[in-house]
Amino acid sequence: MPKKSFVSRAEDKWTINDFPQMDRDKLARRLPPITATHFYNLHSCPTRVYLDMHGDHYKRLPLSEFLRQKIAEGVEHERSVLSGLPDLTHIDYETDQEGLHKTLDAMRAGASIISQGVLVHEGMVGRPDLLIRDEGVSIFGPYQYYACDIKSGRSVKFAYQLQVAFYSDLLGKTQGTVPTRAGVILHDGKERRVDLLRVRQRFEEAKQHITSIRDGVKDHPHLCAACKECGWRAVCKEELLGSGDLSLINGLSREYRAAYYNIGIKDITELSQSAVKPSRISQRVADNFRVQARSLIEHSPVLIHKIELPSSQSIIYFDIEGETEQKIYYLLGCLLVQDGVTTYHPFFAEKPSDERQMWNAFLTWIKTIPDFHIIHYHNYEKYALAGLRRKYGCPDELYKTISSHMTDLFKLVKDSIAFPIHSYSIKDLAKSIGFCWRSDTPGGAQSLYWYAIWAKTGDASIKEALLHYNEDDCQAMKHVVEHIQNSFNT
């Protein structure tokens, strides 16, 4: 059967016969369609694309409250952007086939803006938020369309660019002319252009990769930061633990894993026993991986060298809650240990506009603490303090005193002791040595969720949960320090 042209595709009703023979075979085998979500997820984890397409969805864990809240915010933002657009043609549909027909009808009629249109081509289905009429020529007449997505983020992430490149590719097949323009509307309701030419090659590579995954090629899972919020984490962890995968070692990236594979080291047992290392990995890093592998195999911490812990009259365990993208901070939590007495001092911004007040209250308080030393976990607190100082100021002498009396507990631990854990987040570390949070789902995402709900409802129990969570983070650091003092520094 001769292939139909784009013109006849757009004009006719679509049936399975519109697909070439090869695609009909794939359809018959019920291969899942490729969608824009696959392009988004490929960027963080190809295994996720595979499991989304072929995995047992009963084994997938439910979304966290934080992610549900993010999705709800995204939907709300989209609704608000759409309500401000004039002359909108909205496509309602039950099936993609029906959606496609209605979209083609709207394009044929020259609609100005089409929302929730459906584009289909050879096993790929795109549902761009907007198709916007533009200057040019297409099979529909002296005009063409370009694709635009609505996102609540603040920048055009690369994953968004891949998504609109995917819609543009489908649009080219549908309207007989490839659009040169594409856009993303961000949190402020303003459209940013996406340079389709610049993203073209990476898009083609991604399309090829996703097609091979759709056809059954599976990428090996790799334990990484993206796993924390991924519904497939239980499935992947089981597989990784079963095979003693190298990614169980904290900090061992996909590239490092491939480098170890190239020299024949394929699991943590082999790594723990081998004296050789890939040339691209420094001796110090390779030694650290080896000792971590040993710790995992022996299920026991391994001391690398003794830790020098700060000794001051006043120790402050310090933890800041904030929103990274917008650089807004809403809680500076201080657990003060002084003369054997522990007290918690939270500095809280009841609303984002109270940030300055919170900062000033913190500075006033810390000035009163004699001979203090701050213990924090990782570099977020240093970064946040510098940001708050830039925004609201701080006397030079005081800032110098604060910043020169700070110790990063994460770095101290990471350099000195290998714990039998896969991540050195304060949650994973403290839990592994017996600390319990009052919340079942502690984490920065949960904190943000609580703050958003508190801002909306003013519910005192939510604020209390947030303060408890922050205090527990500080207590967790104290627990780690005491554990080190008792177990390793005696």
- Determine if 226 is a binding residue for ligand SF4 (CB under 6 A): yes
Instruction: Tell me the closest approach of the beta carbon of residue 147 to ligand SF4, in angstroms.
Output: 27
User: 187 or 233: whose CB is closer to ligand SF4?
Assistant: 233
CB 184 within 8 Å of CB 151: yes
Q: Least distance in Å: CB of 316 to ligand SF4? A: 35
Instruction: Tell whether residue 220 is a contact of ligand SF4 (CB under 6 A).
Output: no
Q: Which of 173, 233, 266, 382 binds ligand SF4 (CB under 6 A)?
A: 233
The nearest distance, CB 219 to ligand SF4, in angstroms, is 9
Bridge partners (DSSP) listed for residue 38: none
Q: Is 232 in the site for ligand SF4 (CB under 6 A)?
A: yes
Residue 222 in contact with ligand SF4, rule: CB under 6 A = yes
Q: CB of residue 261 vs ligand SF4: minimum separation in angstroms?
A: 17
**Shortest Cβ distance from residue 238 to ligand SF4 (Å)?**
10
Task: Report if residue 246 touches ligand SF4, rule: CB under 6 A.
Answer: no
Give the tokens for residue 368. 């009163």
What residues form DSSP beta bridges with 148?
130, 183
Q: Should residue 257 be labelled a site residue for ligand SF4 when binding is judged by CB under 6 A?
A: no
Of residues 431, 423, 420, the one with CA closest to residue 294: 420
* Total site size for ligand SF4, rule CB under 6 A: 12
236 vs 296, which CB is nearer to ligand SF4?
Answer: 236
Nearer to ligand SF4, 227 or 429 (CB): 227
User: What's the rounded Cα separation, in Å, for the pair 257 and 247?
Assistant: 7
Residue 37 to residue 162: CA distance in whole angstroms: 10
Shortest distance (Å) from residue 286 CB to ligand SF4: 24
Which lies closer to ligand SF4 via its Cβ, residue 151 or residue 220? 220
Q: Is 239 exposed, middle or buried (0-12, 13-18, 19+ CB in 10 A)?
A: middle
For ligand SF4, give the closer residue by CB, 130 or 240. 240
Binding mask 39-58 for ligand SF4 (x = CB under 6 A): ------x-xx--x-------
Of 4-12, 111-119, 230-238, 282-290, the window that binds ligand SF4 (rule: CB under 6 A) is 230-238
**Is residue 221 part of the contact set for ligand SF4 (CB under 6 A)?**
yes
Is 486 buried (19+), middle (13-18) or exposed (0-12) by CB count in 10 A? Answer: exposed
By the rule CB under 6 A, 89 interacts with ligand SF4:
no
Q: From 88-96, 155-163, 193-201, 224-232, give the range in contact with ligand SF4 by CB under 6 A.
A: 224-232
Q: Find the part of the chain contacting ligand SF4 (CB under 6 A) among 136-144, 227-235, 258-266, 447-455.
A: 227-235
Give the nearer residue to ligand SF4 in terms of CB position, either 164 or 223: 223
Contact range with ligand SF4 by CB under 6 A, out of 222-230, 294-302, 372-380, 475-483 = 222-230
Give min distance, CB of 163 to ligand SF4, in A.
18
CB of 218 to ligand SF4, least distance (A): 11
Asked if 227 interacts with ligand SF4 (CB under 6 A), we say: yes
- Provide the minimum distance between the beta carbon of 233 and ligand SF4 in the complex, in angstroms, as a whole number: 4
332 binds ligand SF4 (CB under 6 A): no
Question: Nearer Cβ to ligand SF4, position 221 or 442?
Answer: 221
| Three-state DSSP string of the chain | CCCCCHHHHHHCCCCHHHCCHHHHHHHHCCCCCECHHHHHHHHHCHHHHHHHHHCCHHHCCCCCHHHHHHHHHHHHHHHHHHHCCCCEEECCCCCHHHHHHHHHHHHHCCCCEEECCCEEECCEEECCCEEEEECCCECCECCEEEEEEECCCCCCCHHHHHHHHHHHHHHHHHHCCCCCCEEEECCCCCEEECCHHHHHHHHHHHHHHHHHHHCCCCCCCCCCHHHHHCCCHHHHHHHHHHHCCHHHCCCCCHHHHHHHHHCCCCCHHHHHHCCCCCCCCCHHHHHHHHHHHHHHHHCCCEECCCCCCCCCCEEEEEEEEEECCCCEEEEEEEEEEECCEEEEEEEECCCHHHHHHHHHHHHHHHCCCCCEEEEECCCHHHHHHHHHHHHHCCCHHHHHHHHHCEEEHHHHHHHHEECCCCCCCHHHHHHHCCCCCCCCCCCHHHHHHHHHHHHHHCCHHHHHHHHHHHHHHHHHHHHHHHHHHHHCCC
Residue 245 C-beta: closest distance to ligand SF4, Å:
10
Question: Quick one: 60 or 373, whose CB is closer to ligand SF4?
Answer: 60
Residue choice 236, 271, 336, 413 for contact with ligand SF4 (CB under 6 A): 236
Q: How far is the CB of 422 from ligand SF4 (least distance, A)?
A: 11
315 binds ligand SF4 (CB under 6 A): no
Give the integer Cα–Cα distance in Å for 167 and 191: 16
How crowded is residue 364: how many other Cβ atoms within 10 Å of its Cβ? 10
What is the nearest approach in angstroms of ligand SF4 to the Cβ of residue 209? 14
Q: Which stretch binds ligand SF4 (CB under 6 A): 120-128, 203-211, 218-226, 265-273?
A: 218-226
Interface with ligand SF4 (CB under 6 A): 45, 47-48, 51, 221-222, 226-227, 230, 232-233, 236
